[in-house]
Structure 1
Amino acid sequence: MRVLITGISGFVGSTLAGYLLSDGFNQPLEVHGIVHRADSRIQEIRSRLHLHKGDLRNSSWVEQVVEAVKPQYVFHLAAWSDVRASWDQPWAAYELNIGCQLNLLEAMRRHAPDARVLVVASSEVYGLIEPDDIPVDEDTPLRPNSPYGISKVAQDLMAQQYWFNYGLPTVRVRSFNHIGPGQSDSFVASAFARQIAEIEGGLQEPVLRVGNLEAERDYTDVRDMVRAYWLALQYGEPGGVYNVGTGSSFPVQELLDVLLDLSNVQIRVEQDPERLRPSDVARIVCNPDRFFRKTNWVPAFSLRESLTDVLQYWRGVTGALSSERSKSGQRRQ
């Protein structure tokens, strides 16, 4: 079975690749991945992957890869994922999320029309969620309120259109917030954890800068999320759409409290206006019932387990950085 993962070296893509190649996975797979730039996250499994380095914005190159691989399953994970930064660079979000997917789906319908394709949208497609919308199901109106959200709506509806018009068996998931080890510090849990790890390592003053602590979100560990993505392609209806989340929400303050509790130093918390979004919905909770019924997927990681692993990841990163700085200082002496 040939699998193609776009964005395989990203946070979610690398976790998915590791899951598909793990000893506990019960199907032998030939895993191909599209890499654009850095591939440090997949170094440990690189020898077991078939990598294709290039740019999804290049339609001719994408077509060559799809024609050569002839994948049977495709996980389209390459994307612009920073909601806050999309306000500063809206065109980049549109180009990377809409244009790259268009190139991929065009190549798929020509060279692998029977392959099942997972298109990952986001809870941001729902945008301005009203209190009466909670918990958010798949029939909740789409009211995107950021450039990123608009780009994900376009991806979502494009996938549906390729099923309607070309019979390409796309499956859409609207995933709610991810957390887990390896996530960029442009996301809230990693932003907190990195600062705490740097404070513990003496690399930063004992002040943790935060944005809006009142917003409530539905957080799923990335290791649970990639299991959900596999199940979505296995059991999801072509053209169908599924919300993926835990069905519970936590305020950002609770994430901060858990991480501070896991730390061994005293830290002062200060609000940073630069970390506030231009538009921030107060509460978002996923209604995952449709997906639960279809796949029997159940999240395995608790919020505290996830945050423990996020903090340990950043302790490892900052520990390596601190060690390198120490060696550099010794060389200069």
Structure 2
Amino acid sequence: MKLLLTGANGFVGQTMQAAMPCVPLPDGLDLRDRAALDAAIADIRPDTVIHLAAQSFVPASFENPRETFDINFLGTLNLLSALQASGFTGRMLFVGSGDTYGLVPPAALPVREEQPLCPRNPYAVSKVAAEALSYQWSQTGGFEIVMVRPFNHIGPGQSPRFAIADFARQIVETRLGRREPVLSVGDIDVTRDFTDVRDVVRAYLLLLTAGQNGEAYNVCSGVERSVRSLLETMIALAGVDARIRQDPARLRPAEQRRMVASFAKLQRDTGWAPEISMEKSLEDLLNHWERTLK
């Protein structure tokens, strides 16, 4: 089975390639270039597709919403069109985001797939639009598509643009004596639903075969954890003595103080459940930075 993977060079894409053989798009190919995409798909002739490629950094989506929409929505449309033009009859997994739910009241937690989608940033809007497009094609496009809404995931290889990876880097720099024992943080008293990226990849592969056509699935741990608790766990695992200092420049309006979701639908259709402990995820993340910084 030839699995085409878009976004193969990203955090999840690299983890996916480590898990099973995949065929990436040619280096430098831009999903906005329909002619180049058509040629690549016609050459690869995949049996299945996992569509990860996206502009996924929320602050960047506010800075350039048009680019975010062009990549995430029109790029998805180009991919679907190229697959159809090539005669593709397999299955595709479209990777959306748990951010599409928007501001969820505490009474509605844990979030289930029936929760209305109320996006509150350009990135989330682009993902809602691309998911709706994927649903439409799953009904009328001649091949099956399953959609996923992943929540926060962490693990080795994640960019330090994201908080937990950034904290891990700071902790390792402290342990190596490359910075003062003061960790710079933003608002760490919010809660989120974190899943190890390797468990996320396993869920994607199961859904590619066992997910129901046209259905959307949460991918999450089902556990509510504070960002502070993960930071404190990493400090303890690393054995460093460091002070936590809140940096006003790192503070962003956190409308969502609490978040946790349900993976009951995913488990019902695939049997999936998280397997990697949070301590293991954080330990592997620290070890990644130890190797990277030495």
Give TM-score scaled by structure 1 length.
0.85
Report how far residue 86 of structure 1 moved.
2.2
1:12-31 pair list within 5 angstroms:
12-21=12-21, 31=22
| Whole-angstrom CA distance in 2 between matches of 1:224 and 1:234 | 16
State the number of aligned residues: 294
The question of 1:32 aligning with 2:26 is answered no
Contact 2:45 2:88 in 1 (8 A): no
Contact 1:9 1:35 in 2 (8 A): no
Which has the larger Rg?
Answer: 1
Give the aligned residue type for 1:192: F
Give the structure 2 partner of residue 50 of structure 1.
Answer: none
| Whole-angstrom CA distance in 2 between matches of 1:150 and 1:123 | 12
Cα displacement string for residues 13-57 of structure 1 (whole angstroms, at most 9, x for unaligned residues)? 111111014xxxxxxxxx310254xxxxxxxxxxxxxxxx42212
Give the structure 1 partner of residue 286 of structure 2.
Answer: 311
Query: Quick one: which of 263, 277, 280 aligns to 2:255?
Result: 280
1:43-58 pair list within 5 angstroms:
53-58=28-33
| Whole-angstrom CA distance in 1 between matches of 2:68 and 2:248 | 23
Q: Which runs of 5+ in 1 are unaligned?
A: 22-30, 37-52, 320-333
| Whole-angstrom CA distance in 1 between matches of 2:84 and 2:259 | 35
Cα displacement string for residues 109-165 of structure 1 (whole angstroms, at most 9, x for unaligned residues)? 221431211100111000111112101011101111111111111121110011123
Q: Percent identity?
A: 41
Q: Which runs of 5+ in 2 are unaligned?
A: none
Give the structure 1 partner of residue 74 of structure 2.
Answer: 99
1:58-73 pair list within 5 angstroms:
58-73=33-48
Report how far residue 58 of structure 1 moved.
0.7
| Whole-angstrom CA distance in 2 between matches of 1:274 and 1:98 | 31
Other structure's SS at 2:184 match: strand
Query: Quick one: which of 239, 242, 245 aligns to 1:264?
Result: 239
Query: Quick one: which of 193, 197, 215 aligns to 1:222?
Result: 197
Give the structure 2 partner of residue 25 of structure 1.
Answer: none
Report how far residue 279 of structure 1 moved.
4.2
Contact 1:214 1:252 in 2 (8 A): yes
Contact 2:46 2:88 in 1 (8 A): no
Report how far residue 268 of structure 1 moved.
1.5
Give the structure 2 partner of residue 28 of structure 1.
Answer: none
| Whole-angstrom CA distance in 2 between matches of 1:55 and 1:80 | 12
| Whole-angstrom CA distance in 2 between matches of 1:248 and 1:168 | 34
Report how far residue 208 of structure 1 moved.
0.8
Contact 2:5 2:51 in 1 (8 A): yes
Other structure's SS at 2:245 match: strand
Give the aligned residue type for 1:12: V
Query: Quick one: which of 112, 116, 125 aligns to 1:137?
Result: 112
Report how far residue 89 of structure 1 moved.
2.7
Query: Quick one: which of 112, 123, 127 aligns to 1:152?
Result: 127
Root-mean-square deviation (CA, aligned residues, Å) is 1.4
Contact 1:145 1:279 in 2 (8 A): no
Q: Which moved more, 1:196-205 or 1:117-126?
A: 196-205
Give the structure 1 partner of residue 208 of structure 2.
Answer: 233
Q: Which runs of 4+ in 1 moved over 6 A?
A: none
Give the aligned residue type for 1:256: L
Give the structure 1 partner of residue 142 of structure 2.
Answer: 167
Give the structure 2 partner of residue 48 of structure 1.
Answer: none
